[in-house]
């Protein structure tokens, strides 16, 4: 007669074996020889008005030839997109330099997988055209709209710090772009820290002026971020590699066809051509690998938020970087 202890051990072995078998075979896109059938893969991509990733890939002719399916989700800014990536609802998306810091501070299941320079002129702290504010020092005591955890949040922090101010010296109003624009135009805030295309939209449509842009205050890097669940999947990782190569080519196409891109971007975003033309003229894409210099630069962003006590504790950015796609890019 088989003992109860032996029966329990056999049952446990069966459960473990079944679990292992499930994990090895659940990825239907992976063939028996280990290769990936990309036609069986669906990538869930995040997009936001400020990046226009879907429109960019489409304009460059990179979407129609993609060998996998793509499902798009739209977000108002980087932080809510990274929340979706952390939850596993989205696989990948592009954000500025601050959202990954806030996500890392929250121990989110995300990794930065590529970086690119996009210029600093589109980062702006804008004020109404008739505002008495004339320089960064005039921000003391003012109500300033900003999307919490966004690249504009870091720009505002840097401007304050380099002009002898802190967040304690202003009244931050944490608003998403649409609400912030309304607040600026109705006088409920004195200034708005924002990024393109909203900077250009405020300039062109409501006559706002840039009090201070990003030059000398922020580095030009933005990032593409993937979820850990996607990176743990062999098939989705293969699709992400193909996608990143397509984005790299699309960036090169935009640099060579700015007028065509401005027109396409206007059509896809619903923004006037005069707005997208300003945006495009301010951006020259420079893709690069996630080398030590790029990681150290992002660590400086993290340290600034930590020192200002805007995120809890210290954040080690290197723990939230995946360099497996570095071979796609030139060194920074």
Asked if residue 181 belongs to a domain, the reply is yes
> What pLDDT score was predicted for residue 50?
63
Domain end (from 213, 242, 260): 213
Asked if residue 6 belongs to a domain, the reply is no
Phi-psi map region of 207: left, alpha, beta (phi>0 left; psi -120 to 50 alpha):
left
* Residues 97 and 227 occupy one common structural domain: yes
Between vectors from CA 103 to CA 102 and to CA 104, what angle results, nearest 5°? Answer: 90
* Residues 200 and 233 occupy one common structural domain: no
Domain end (from 181, 213, 245): 213
Domain end (from 158, 184, 213): 213
Q: What is the pLDDT of residues 29-85, one digit of tens each?
A: 999 999 999 999 999 999 987 678 999 999 999 999 999 999 999 999 999 999 999
pTM of the predicted model as reported, rounded to 2 decimal places: 0.88
| Domain CATH number, residue 262 | 3.40.190.10
Asked if residue 150 belongs to a domain, the reply is yes
* Residues 59 and 82 occupy one common structural domain: yes
Q: What is the pLDDT of residues 190-249, one digit of tens each?
A: 999 999 999 999 999 999 999 999 999 999 999 999 999 999 999 999 999 999 999 999
Q: Name the pLDDT band for 269 (thresholds 50, 70, 90).
A: confident
Q: What is the pLDDT of residues 149-203, one digit of tens each?
A: 999 999 999 999 999 999 999 999 999 999 999 999 999 999 999 999 999 999 9
Q: What residues does 94 pair with on adjacent strands?
A: 224
Name the domain count of the chain: 2
Domain of 144, in residue numbers: 123-213
* Residues 232 and 315 occupy one common structural domain: yes
Asked if residue 19 belongs to a domain, the reply is no
Q: Strands 191-194 and 42-48, how do they pair?
A: unpaired
Please answer whether residues 184 and 192 qualify as being in contact, where contact means their C-beta atoms are separated by less than 8 angstroms: yes
Residue whose entry in the numeric block shows the structure tokens 């997208």: 276
- Cα Rg of the chain, angstroms: 23
What are the helix (H) ranges across 227-317?
Answer: 228-231, 234-256, 258-269, 273-281, 292-307
C-alpha–C-alpha distance, residues 169 and 88, integer Å:
38
Using a pLDDT cut of 90, give the percent of the chain over it: 86
E strands present in the chain: 42-48, 69-75, 92-95, 110-117, 124-127, 143-146, 171-174, 191-194, 209-213, 221-227, 286-288
* Residues 305 and 179 occupy one common structural domain: no
* Residues 229 and 114 occupy one common structural domain: yes
Q: Strands 286-288 and 209-213, how do they pair?
A: unpaired
């Amino acid at each position: 007669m088989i003992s109860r202890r032996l029966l329990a051990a056999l049952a446990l072995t069966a459960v473990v074996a079944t679990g292992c078998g499930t994990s090895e075979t659940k990825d239907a896109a992976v063939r028996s020889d280990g290769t990936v059938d990309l036609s069986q893969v669906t990538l869930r991509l995040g997009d936001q008005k400020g990046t226009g990733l879907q429109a960019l890939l489409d304009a460059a002719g990179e979407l129609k030839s993609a060998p996998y399916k793509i499902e798009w989700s739209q977000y108002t800014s980087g932080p809510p997109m990274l929340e979706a990536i952390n939850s596993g609802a989205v696989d990948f998306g592009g954000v500025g330099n601050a959202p990954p810091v806030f996500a890392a501070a929250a121990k989110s299941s995300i990794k930065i997988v590529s970086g690119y320079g996009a210029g600093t002129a589109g980062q702006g702290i804008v004020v109404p055209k008739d505002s008495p504010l004339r320089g960064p020092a005039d921000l003391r005591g003012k109500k300033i709209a900003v999307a919490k955890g966004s690249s504009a949040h870091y720009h505002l922090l840097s401007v304050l710090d380099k002009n002898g101010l802190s967040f304690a010296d202003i009244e931050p109003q944490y608003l998403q772009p649409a609400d912030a624009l309304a607040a600026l135009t109705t006088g409920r805030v004195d200034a708005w820290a924002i990024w393109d295309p909203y900077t250009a939209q405020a300039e062109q449509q409501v006559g706002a002026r840039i009090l201070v842009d990003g030059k000398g205050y922020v580095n030009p890097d933005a990032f593409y971020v993937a979820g850990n669940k996607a990176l743990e999947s062999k098939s989705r990782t293969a699709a992400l590699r193909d996608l990143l190569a397509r984005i790299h080519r699309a960036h090169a196409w935009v640099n060579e066809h700015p007028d065509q891109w401005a027109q396409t971007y206007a059509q896809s975003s619903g923004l006037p051509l005069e707005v997208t033309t300003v945006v495009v003229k301010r951006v020259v894409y420079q893709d690069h690998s996630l080398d030590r210099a790029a990681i150290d630069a992002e660590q400086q962003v993290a340290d600034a938020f930590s020192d200002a006590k805007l995120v809890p504790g210290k954040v080690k950015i290197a723990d939230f970087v995946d360099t497996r796609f570095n071979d796609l890019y030139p060194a920074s």
